[in-house]
Amino acid sequence: MNPENIFRFPSLYEYKNRALSAVNGLGGFSVDALTGGKSVLDIGCGPLQLYYSPERTRQHAAVDNSPEMVEACKQKYPRSQCLVASADALPFKDKSFDLVTIFFVLHHIDFEKWAKVLSEAQRVAKERVLVLDHIRHDGRFRGWLQKKYWDLFDGGKAYLRKDQWRETLKGLSVREFRQRGVFFGNVCYFEIDPLARA
């Protein structure tokens, strides 16, 4: 079975997500200080948001290409505008939101489409695009183990090493590039200026 089928089962994904967040060294990680009081779009929202409170935003919209995830998100956050949409064709006008978040979504998208997805996120953002995703380990053993885990339980399409992330982000105005977690995790967080395409 393709592990990405879990996106059709929001409750199951929620259990996996909570467990993984701790393993990834993200327990306690929060961007609430940035998102509080702002208008925020969450791309690839899944069933819930672990890294900020949609309730504390001024306005919150969420998109996912899985109708099941969108339904679960609507149930969890009745005040949010939740829509089925693809990250590479967002149904919003330019600069519709102060902030755009795209957390653990890019690696589920073919690498050839990342530039389009990032430019869509930048297009609808006024202030910043916030990104969280995985980094592939350099070390042979940990890299092998991580790949085994991803093949069996994640099913993503593109996992970059740190140097590949840096290459991919070249030309974008990245404000921070922080790395967290050590084992399966090895997670990166960064913020992109919406207007700074090379």
Choose between 27 and 139: whose C-beta lies nearer to ligand SAM.
27
CA distance 169 to 115: 9
Q: 82 pairs with which residues across the strands? A: 62
In the bound complex, what is the minimum distance in angstroms from residue 65's beta carbon to ligand SAM?
4
What Å distances lie between residue 174 and 44, 74, 125, 193, CA to CA?
A: 21, 31, 14, 6
Residue choice 97, 103, 159, 165 for contact with ligand SAM (CB under 6 A): 103
In the bound complex, what is the minimum distance in angstroms from residue 140's beta carbon to ligand SAM?
26
Name the one range near ligand SAM by CB under 6 A: 24-32, 59-67, 165-173, 181-189: 59-67
Asked if residue 39 binds ligand SAM (CB under 6 A), the reply is no
Residues 6+ apart with CB under 8 A from 52: 30, 31, 32, 34, 35, 36, 40, 101
- How would you class 32 by CB atoms within 10 Å of its CB: exposed for 0-12, middle for 13-18, buried for 19 or more? exposed
Residue choice 108, 126, 162, 180 for contact with ligand SAM (CB under 6 A): 108
Name the one range near ligand SAM by CB under 6 A: 30-38, 97-105, 166-174, 190-198: 97-105
Tokens of 43: 């791309």
Asked if residue 104 binds ligand SAM (CB under 6 A), the reply is yes
# binding residues, ligand SAM (CB under 6 A):
16
Asked if residue 181 binds ligand SAM (CB under 6 A), the reply is no
- H or E element at residue 70: helix 67-76
Asked if residue 131 binds ligand SAM (CB under 6 A), the reply is no
CA distance 66 to 54: 19
Residue choice 38, 40, 46, 128 for contact with ligand SAM (CB under 6 A): 46
Q: What is the 3-state secondary structure (H, E, C) of 80-104?
A: CEEEECCCCCCCCCCCCEEEEEEEC
The residues of the shown chain that bind ligand SAM, judged by CB under 6 A, are 7, 17, 44-46, 64-66, 69, 86-87, 103-105, 108-109
